[in-house]
């Protein structure tokens, strides 16, 4: 503490360098805190579950060519019958979309027919009674669809279903008392209720963008077999036979009906590939933010080392005089560590305010979550430790300046 006054006096004589380093620390803290927060959010998103048993699951995207939308139903039925008989296949469905696919249907849902506003938002999956075993969904209440409940419908005119299966998240949002089973639910603007006959533990939506985070686990399965020319087949292979089915299933579909298109890029994918491609952007963003953080921290550390080394060179006479007057090596070392700590504290205080302000701007512009103060606190501690670590080498060099050497340099 006894060094504070002369240190402040010395810093006042070097305002430009002091302000420069303090602002560098502040900007680094603000950017690193928000970058680490973004990385954390992205990684959390990448690892969140879909509700599916993803192993041994694959998807095929198929489109019939020259087929009327309303007349593709028998062709899809033939495809499903052939897929379910294929060696190595455990089950298969034709479905409009699936988790992480990137496109699908969504709508508002109500529990009161006269309600003007939706009580929740959900994605809509249309498939038959093979959906639960194919996707590996866990039924926690109620029952699966019966085959006689499945209806065929053109994508342009899907009728209101009599029964539906919902995810637990949607059930709890619609009926917070925990008694959603057998209760009515109104899909979109319809006046006709559908009865909830089953609740699955978890089922994610097809999107992984931030706008869908608020209803990520709100899903609704309707007993409808779409008859459109374009459809997605989800196929569950028997354990250990996914590689064989990935080759055999598309070949069998082409053999069943050659008047179809299966994309060579995204037409046939294991679910592991679906997940990898869905979160490619998030992983890239996390990597980029990580590199930015490392570069900023390295530049800040280099700036502190450079400035302190410069000051040590300028103050060799001063250091020599202090050493001649009885100052120990430890006193010189503490002087520079304390001086750097004062600059660092000023920088992190400004940086903390900048970090919060930057996050508030990101929240309004990009619908991000609010920055946790834990990140700010961790950033403050990390920057102060980094600064003290960076100044240690030049400070030790200064402490080794002998009184005689300093006197000769006068």
Tokens in use for 317?
């006479």
The pLDDT tens digits of the residues spanning 24-45 come to 899 999 999 999 998 998 888 8
The pLDDT tens digits of the residues spanning 225-251 come to 988 888 999 999 999 999 999 999 999
Pairing state of beta strands 57-64 and 163-167?
unpaired
The pLDDT tens digits of the residues spanning 345-357 come to 999 999 999 999 9
Residue corresponding to tokens 């490392």 = 294
Arithmetic mean of pLDDT over the chain: 89
Band (pLDDT 50/70/90 cuts) for residue 410 is very low
Task: Give the residue among 339, 398, 349 at the shortest CA–CA distance from 5.
Answer: 339
- Residue pair 346/8 in contact by the 8 Å Cβ criterion: no
* Whole-number pLDDT of residue 175: 96
Classify burial at 117, counting beta carbons within 10 Å of its beta carbon; exposed 0-12, middle 13-18, buried 19 or more: exposed
pTM for the model stands at: 0.78
d(CA 365, CA 221) in angstroms, rounded, equals 34
- Residue pair 39/366 in contact by the 8 Å Cβ criterion: no
The pLDDT tens digits of the residues spanning 293-316 come to 999 999 988 988 888 888 777 777
* Mean pLDDT of the 369-375 span: 86
- Residue pair 91/197 in contact by the 8 Å Cβ criterion: no
Task: Give the residue among 279, 321, 344 at the shortest CA–CA distance from 406.
Answer: 321
* Whole-number pLDDT of residue 371: 86
Q: Distances from the Cα of 368 to the Cαs of 28, 258, 378, in angstroms? A: 20, 47, 20
* Mean pLDDT of the 200-204 span: 96
- Residue pair 75/64 in contact by the 8 Å Cβ criterion: yes
Q: In percent, how much of the chain has pLDDT > 70? A: 97
Using the predicted structure, report yes or no on whether residue 399 has a pLDDT greater than 90.
no
């Amino acid at each position: 503490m006894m060094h504070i006054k002369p240190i402040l006096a010395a810093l006042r004589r070097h305002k430009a360098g002091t302000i420069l380093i303090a602002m560098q620390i502040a900007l680094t803290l603000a950017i690193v805190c928000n970058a680490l927060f973004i990385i954390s959010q992205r990684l959390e998103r990448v690892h969140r579950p879909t509700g599916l048993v993803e192993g041994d699951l694959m998807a095929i995207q198929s489109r019939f060519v020259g087929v009327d939308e309303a007349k593709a139903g028998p062709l899809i039925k033939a495809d499903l019958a052939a897929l379910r008989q294929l060696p190595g296949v455990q089950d298969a469905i034709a479905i409009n979309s699936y988790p992480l696919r990137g496109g699908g249907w969504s709508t508002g849902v109500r529990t009161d027919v006269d309600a003007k506003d939706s009580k929740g938002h959900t994605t809509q999956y249309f498939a038959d009674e093979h959906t639960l075993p194919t996707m590996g969904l866990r039924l926690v209440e109620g029952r699966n669809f019966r085959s006689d409940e499945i209806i065929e419908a053109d994508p342009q005119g899907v009728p209101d279903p009599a029964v539906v299966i919902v995810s637990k998240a949607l059930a709890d949002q619609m009926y917070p008392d925990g008694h959603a089973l057998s209760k009515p639910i109104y899909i979109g603007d319809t006046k006709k209720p559908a009865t909830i006959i089953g609740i699955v533990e978890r089922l994610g939506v097809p999107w992984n963008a931030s706008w869908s985070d608020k209803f990520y686990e709100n899903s609704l399965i309707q007993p409808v077999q779409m008859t459109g020319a374009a459809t997605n087949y989800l196929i569950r292979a028997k354990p250990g036979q996914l590689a064989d089915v990935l080759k055999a299933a598309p070949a069998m579909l082409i053999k069943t009906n050659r008047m179809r298109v299966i994309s060579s890029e995204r037409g046939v994918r294991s679910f592991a590939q679906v997940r990898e491609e869905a979160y490619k952007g998030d992983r890239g963003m996390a990597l980029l933010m990580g590199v930015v953080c490392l570069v900023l921290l390295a530049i800040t550390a280099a700036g502190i080392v450079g400035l302190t080394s410069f000051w040590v060179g300028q103050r060799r006479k001063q250091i020599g005089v202090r050493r001649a007057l009885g100052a120990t090596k430890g006193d010189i070392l503490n002087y520079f560590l304390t001086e750097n700590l004062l600059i660092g504290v000023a920088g992190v205080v400004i940086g903390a305010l900048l970090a919060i302000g930057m996050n508030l701007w990101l929240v309004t512009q990009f619908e991000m979550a609010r920055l946790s103060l834990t990140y700010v606190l961790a950033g403050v501690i990390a920057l102060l430790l980094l600064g003290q670590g960076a100044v240690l080498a030049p400070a030790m060099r200064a402490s080794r300046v002998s009184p005689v050497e300093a006197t000769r340099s006068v």
